[in-house]
Amino acid sequence: MAAEKGEEKLIAAVRHIAKTLGRTETMADDILQIFSTFDGRLSREKLSEKQLDDASLASSDVADGDDRLSLSSIDRTLRSLDRQISRFAASERLIWSDSADASAFLEAVDHLLAKIHDLDTPAPGNKLLLDRADHVLQKCMLRLEDEFRSLIDRSGLPLDPAATGSSPFYSEGEDSDSDDGPVPLAHPVTDYDLVIDALPPGTVSDLHEIARRMAAAGFGRECVEVYAPSRRDFVEESVARLGLRPRTAEEVQGTPWGVLEEEIARWIKALNMVFRILIPSERRLCDRIFAGLPPFVDLAFAMVSRAPAIQLLSFAEVVAIGSRAPDRLFRVVDMYEAVRDLIPDLDPIFSDQYSTYLRKEAATVSKSLAAAIRGIFVELENLIRRDPARAAVPGGGLHPITRYVMNFLRAACSFRRTVEEAMEDDAGTPVPPDPDRPSSSMAVQIAWLMDVLQGNLEEKSKIYREPSLSCIFLMNNGRYIIQKVRDSELGVLLGGEWIRRQMARVRRWGSDYQRATWSKVITVLRTDGASGSSSVAAKAMRERLRIFNAYFGEIYRAQTRWVVADEQLRAELRISVSELVLPVYRNFLGRYRNLAETGKHAEKYAKYSAEDVEAGIGELFEGTGKRS
């Protein structure tokens, strides 16, 4: 026991001498080597195994007697690696500008990581070496970050649509919201079935080698944080080149609709470009650079794609919750179709834990746009109900609300399958039923709007003083509605039975017009009450003829100013009036002329011949306002 303590004191004295005389670690190591040749108790292993720290002088030999390197050997290796790595880290020239330097640097990093792995045990004496190795590792990682960033930045340029088969960029118009001059736009791209190699294959390989080392050193997250901003900037600048810039919700909702329509058209192109080309390309790039490095491959992709994806989807969300004015329907339908068609393609791209919420966000936006489509039809109903019955349309012609609603619905039918799908989405129907059936959601909605419009027109007809003009107004608008339904897919949705009911309404209004206008005329021309002596009968018939002349003149003056725009309806009305009036009038004139008392003065009281009445009826509803 005393001998062991004496040996320990001797070894401690020799180490103290080496430490005092050696100005550097290398000199001290050389002095210890000289002492080891004089005395077997001063072997190199005994002198060096505790040189790391006074507190570790009592440590034992390396456990289990395996063939590991001694701590002193690891220490020398670390010092050598430190000198080598420090030289690379201090270089102002990029290491990856020379392939030989890059290989040497990576080899040094690999060696360092191997030594750290060797020291990663709770054996005595390892802590100080690990601290020194970690210090060297920090220098490595900082330099690798710089090299990684430099490789990405000098290789990644914003997407040029010329690379996708379209023409180069061009400028079109001025950006009213910016002083930066014309907005750079891209010609349309129609082929989205492609993936772009945003970085050269050699660069991708170099980046993968760096990422692999950083992940192995526990710096995978730091590598991702260097990678993501650069690639995100690439995608965002590519979106800007497609004519879109980040906008706040207030800016979007405050944009005039005409300007917003143009932006929506650009948005649809950008949506397809970003989600079908740019983001899949970034997915593949991440898979290559971070190959075999989960979860960093998914984390990097999510950090790159999140902001551009959210920017585009947020724009659609803002439009969806904005104004529900009916004239916005067609652009909202375009947006809904674009997002809907995109969703199936997002499943394989956004399937990892970090980006799956983007797929859910796209589905949410699709539902918001579907709700906007339904809301627009509700707003159309409100617009019809709010349209006031104040000023009468001159001549009982077509009301603007009728033209607006019918043209809107005709145009909406060109998207009927999409609109039907959006309406069924509210009920949670997984597969939209046949939209051609009269009982479909869209058909029911349109039939309801027709009823609301009809009720509104009937209220408006009441502001006319003449009941007959009210009938003309209803016939004009009812006939227009039938024409628009027959000449479009509205007829498919509403069905033949609805059309027949509407035609019956128009015929009823025609009968009401005849009664309101011509029943008093027919009553005057009846001769069944003209009995008695010839003189009395002649006098009675002259009075009736005078009343007829007054009635017919009044009707002619008024109803030549009235309007029946549809030629067929106008002809039908004239024919029905002629068939009602002319036979009775001819019969009346014949009876009147046969009376002896009328004599040669018969024509004096008959102001209108049958031909005159027929011609006058033929001039009704022209809107000309002729004099009788």
Each residue's pLDDT tens digit, 425-444: 765 544 444 444 567 889 99
Q: Are 521 and 548 in contact (CB under 8 A)?
A: yes
Whether residue 327 has pLDDT greater than 60: yes
Categorize the per-residue pLDDT at 606 as very low, low, confident or very high, splitting at 50, 70 and 90: confident
Q: Are 354 and 335 in contact (CB under 8 A)?
A: no
User: Considering only 223-237, 326-340, 533-547, which range has the smallest mean pLDDT?
Assistant: 533-547
Q: In sequence order, what are the beta bridge partners of 563?
A: 622
Tokens of 116: 């750290």
Tokens of 392: 């009468």
Mean pLDDT of the chain: 82
Say which DSSP state 392 is in. Answer: P
Residue 73: what residue type? S
| Section 77-83 average pLDDT | 87
Q: Are 605 and 542 in contact (CB under 8 A)?
A: yes
Q: In sequence order, what are the beta bridge partners of 184?
A: 171
Q: For residues 374 and 21, which has the higher predicted lDDT (pLDDT)?
A: 374
d(CA 126, CA 107): 23
Tokens of 419: 């609109």
Assign 618 to helix, strand or coil.
coil
Q: Are 19 and 50 in contact (CB under 8 A)?
A: no
Categorize the per-residue pLDDT at 178 as very low, low, confident or very high, splitting at 50, 70 and 90: very low
Whether residue 542 has pLDDT greater than 60: yes
Q: For residues 254 and 601, which has the higher predicted lDDT (pLDDT)?
A: 254
Locate tokens 């009445």: which residue? 613
Tokens of 284: 């593949």
Percentage of the chain surpassing pLDDT 90? 58
How confident is the model at residue 179, as a pLDDT?
41
Which secondary structure element, helix H or strand E, spans residue 185, and what is its range? Answer: strand 184-185
How confident is the model at residue 53, as a pLDDT?
41
pLDDT tens for 6-36 read 666 666 666 666 666 655 555 556 666 666 6
Assign 246 to helix, strand or coil.
coil
Residues 6+ apart with CB under 8 A from 456: 384, 385, 387, 389, 401
d(CA 625, CA 628): 10
Residues 6+ apart with CB under 8 A from 594: none
CA geometry: angle 547, 395, 464, nearest 5 deg: 75
d(CA 307, CA 485): 46
Residues 6+ apart with CB under 8 A from 529: 540
| Section 196-219 average pLDDT | 93
Q: Does the CA dihedral 606-611-613-619 come out positive or negative? A: negative
Q: Are 403 and 347 in contact (CB under 8 A)?
A: no
CA distances from 297 to 78, 213, 277 (A): 31, 14, 19
How confident is the model at residue 559, as a pLDDT?
93
Whether residue 65 has pLDDT greater than 70: no
Assign 622 to helix, strand or coil.
strand
Q: Which long-range contacts (CB under 8 A, 24 or more apart) does 463-468 make?
A: 463/389, 463/390, 463/391, 463/392, 464/392, 464/396, 466/516, 466/558, 467/512, 467/516, 468/512, 468/513, 468/516, 468/517, 468/559
d(CA 267, CA 254): 17
Categorize the per-residue pLDDT at 4 as very low, low, confident or very high, splitting at 50, 70 and 90: low
262-283 burial code (b ≥16 CB/10 A, e <16): ebbeebbbbbbbbbbbbbbbbb
Assign 242 to helix, strand or coil.
coil
Tokens of 469: 């003009």
CA distances from 189 to 164, 165, 166, 168, 183 (A): 7, 7, 6, 11, 18
Q: Tell me phi and psi for residue 148, to 5 degrees.
A: -60, -45
Whether residue 177 has pLDDT greater than 80: no
Distance, CA of 627 to chain centre: 60
Give the HSE-up count for residue 349: Cα atoms under 13 Å, Cβ half-sphere.
Answer: 28
Q: How many CB atoms lie within 10 A of CB 626?
A: 12
Which secondary structure element, helix H or strand E, spans residue 170, and what is its range? Answer: strand 170-171
How confident is the model at residue 558, as a pLDDT?
93
Assign 335 to helix, strand or coil.
helix
Categorize the per-residue pLDDT at 162 as very low, low, confident or very high, splitting at 50, 70 and 90: very low
Categorize the per-residue pLDDT at 128 as very low, low, confident or very high, splitting at 50, 70 and 90: confident
Whether residue 181 has pLDDT greater than 50: no
Tokens of 518: 């011509």
d(CA 88, CA 103): 12
d(CA 220, CA 400): 66
d(CA 530, CA 206): 116
How confident is the model at residue 124, as a pLDDT?
62
pLDDT tens for 497-512 read 999 999 999 999 999 9
| Section 357-371 average pLDDT | 95
d(CA 29, CA 18): 8
| Section 441-458 average pLDDT | 94
CA geometry: angle 381, 383, 384, nearest 5 deg: 65
How confident is the model at residue 429, as a pLDDT?
47
pLDDT tens for 547-562 read 999 999 999 999 999 9
- The β-bridge relationship of strands 184-185 and 170-171 is antiparallel
CA distances from 466 to 109, 396, 461 (A): 99, 10, 10
Locate tokens 């003083």: which residue? 465
d(CA 558, CA 576): 18
CA distances from 413 to 323, 491, 492 (A): 21, 10, 10
Cα pseudo-dihedral 544, 546, 547, 551, rounded to 10: 130
Q: What angle do helix axes 416-425 and 356-386 make, rounded to 10 degrees? A: 100
d(CA 426, CA 410): 23
Instruction: Looking at mean pLDDT, say which of 207-216, 345-354, 600-609 comes out highest.
Output: 207-216
How confident is the model at residue 5, as a pLDDT?
59
Say which DSSP state 96 is in. Answer: G
